[in-house]
Each structure stands twice: as C-alpha cells, then as structure tokens.
Amino acid sequence: MKSSFKASLITLTLATLGVACTPIHQAVTHSQKIAPPSIQTAKNVEKLSYITNIQSPEDLVQIPNTKWLIASGMAPKSGLYLVDGENKTASRLIAPKAGKPSAQFPNSEPQPHADEMQIHGISIREVGKGKFYLYAVNHNGFDQKITRETIEIFEVNTNTATPTLTWLGNVRMLNDYAGNGVVSGADGSIYVTVMMHPQHSLADMFAGKTTGAVYRWTPTTQQFVKLQGSELNGNNGIELSRDGKFIYVAHMQGMSKLTNTNPAKIVAQTHLDYGVADNLHWAGDKLITAGSMAQNCSNGLTFNCLKDFHITQISPDNLALNPIYKGKYTADFSGVSTVLPVGDTYYLGSFYRDKMAYFEAK
C-alpha cells in the first residue's frame, strides 16, 4: 500500500496543477446556453505580498467573524497553521494530545502526531458559542511514508485571545483512497472528493477520462459511501449549497452541480477554457475558485502550458463563470491552489511554495 500512497500524492500534485485540457465548449445548464466568459475581462494582479513561516498552504479558510485564518500544510511535518490576518504572520496550529476521541467518532484511528499531518483540503463550520468544527484531509505519516488516509476533525475555540484547537476524532477513508477536498453538512455528514482511484493512471487523467468521485460519511452509516453519478475527471474542490440540497464539485477544467442524493444527478455543468479549477469555497452569495491558467494547451497538457493564475467567481444557480482576477507566476510564487477573499484582501494558497500570498482589491 505504501507505494500506492506515494503514487497518489504524485497524482494529487499533478492534478492540483491541472492535468487535462479538454476541448473548449460553452457552459450549459439543462438546455440553456451561457456565453463563455473571457479571461480578458479579468483585472490584473500587479503585485503580491507574502506571509512566510508556512509550508505548502494548499487550502485556506477564515474563522468566521475574526481576523484569524487557518491554512493547511500539504508537506511533511507541516499540518495546520494559524494566520493573523491583521499582522500577516503565521504559526503552526497544534492540537494537544486528547485523552480519547469524541463520542461522535467512536471508530477513530489514534490521534496523529502534529508532525504526521500532511493536510490537503480543509473546511470550517460554526457550531455555536464561539466554536467551530474544522475538517481536514490528512495524508497521515512521517515524511513521505504515508500510513493511512483520514479526515481529521477538530474543534476550534475562539473564546480565548488566540484560537485553540482540540482534536475530536477522525474518519478513515474507504480503501485508504487519497482525499482531496472536504466539506461538512449541518447534520454532521462529511463529503470528500477522491481525485483518482487506484485503477486509473496519470495517462487517464491527462486524457480527461473519468477518474474520481465524491464520497459521503454520515453519523448513521459511520463509513464513507460513494455517491453514484458523482464520477468525474479529477474530482477536486467541493462545496454544499446553503440548504444542503446540492453538491458543487470543481474538477480539472470543469465545474458540476449535483443533487445531494445517491445516485446523484448532474443539474448544471460548465467549463473553464482558460484554466483549471482547484479548491472551491463560498464567498458571500457566490462560489469562488482559483488555479493555474491553461494556455496554448490545444495539443494536450504540458507543464509549459500551465502559466500564471486566475481567480473566478461562479454563480451557484447555473454555474456561470466570472473571471475577476488574473496574475503572473514568478520565481517567488506559483502553484496557486485556492483563494480566500476577506474584505478587500484576497489571500492565495499554493500547494508547494513556502509562503502564502495576498493582494488588495482595487
């Protein structure tokens, strides 16, 4: 299994960059056609500033109504980081050793050591009285020796000067599939994307074939079950509609809106002809994503055609795309994997850089 874990991480890294250039087509929802967006309308990001002391901040969330952000570290001995949005500083966010897991997660694996956590996608949900649940996709293991794939669940407490973290438990992924994005429902259900199942190859991913799916865990089932009909090309970012009736999935150069049923049904789809979509989050009443720009990929994807980055808003109703910003990759920063708008500040994560970036909206 260890070799398959390593292969999974290689795949995830390539897929975060975007490893499929499919033919350009118009966004559609049912029979309605939407004019394809133009990246030329996006504003240019002229300059990035940086927050250091952080490694591979693949995903970012804000602790609601606070100055604090949480970043995932998708690198050995990285884990989670607490970011001060005012002072623009970061430090590791470590949960003390818990006596036992919460009763909500009775089948938990042992709590991972802080240095075992290599965190991919994250999601946060308010539970009341200044407390939140944080869900984190963990490729668990020291260095590159991954021993298991889990979703770690923590309680974040903001009733102190600096937020604190308490480990509640974890849920092991079905067949130790490598998860990518995560989101939770108000009923405690957990939804995770798997980008590539073991029977598929990188060649399949490059060819734009169906390689992944969405998996759902509920407090009743206590195990992950695949949502039939959620199979897509490189399932990546994930979100739920406000009422929990729909699942939004970013998958390579595509975006899909699915019914939250099993089997799931696709009710809207769209295509990013100018780039790849990575992590997906709510930003007000819109969804937002970011990723590499796919330029001159008409003959198939190569690393040479993945240049620069885009930030794109998505309508939750029909998935109409609105590219709002575009920027250049530099020697200092590349590999953009997520965007987090907080007021007029836009924060950017990267799946392999030793910093996160930000800029002020004009």
pLDDT in tens, 146-188: 999 999 999 999 999 999 999 999 999 999 999 999 999 999 9
CA pair distance 311, 309, nearest whole angstrom: 7
- E-strand ranges in 141-271 read 148-157, 164-172, 179-184, 190-194, 213-217, 224-226, 235-240, 246-251, 254-259, 266-271
Residue type, 151: I
The tens digit of pLDDT for each residue in 187-231 reads 999 999 999 999 997 778 777 899 999 999 999 999 999 999 999
Beta carbons within 8 Å of 124's beta carbon, 6+ residues apart? 61, 62, 63, 64, 70, 132, 133, 134, 135, 156
- Phi then psi dihedrals of residue 328, to 5 deg: -95, 140
Tokens describing residue 23: 């033919």
Q: What percent of the chain clears pLDDT 90, i.e. is strictly above it? A: 80
Cβ atoms 220, 189 nearer than 8 A: no
Supply the pLDDT for residue 174: 97
CA pair distance 178, 16, nearest whole angstrom: 13
Tokens describing residue 277: 């979509």
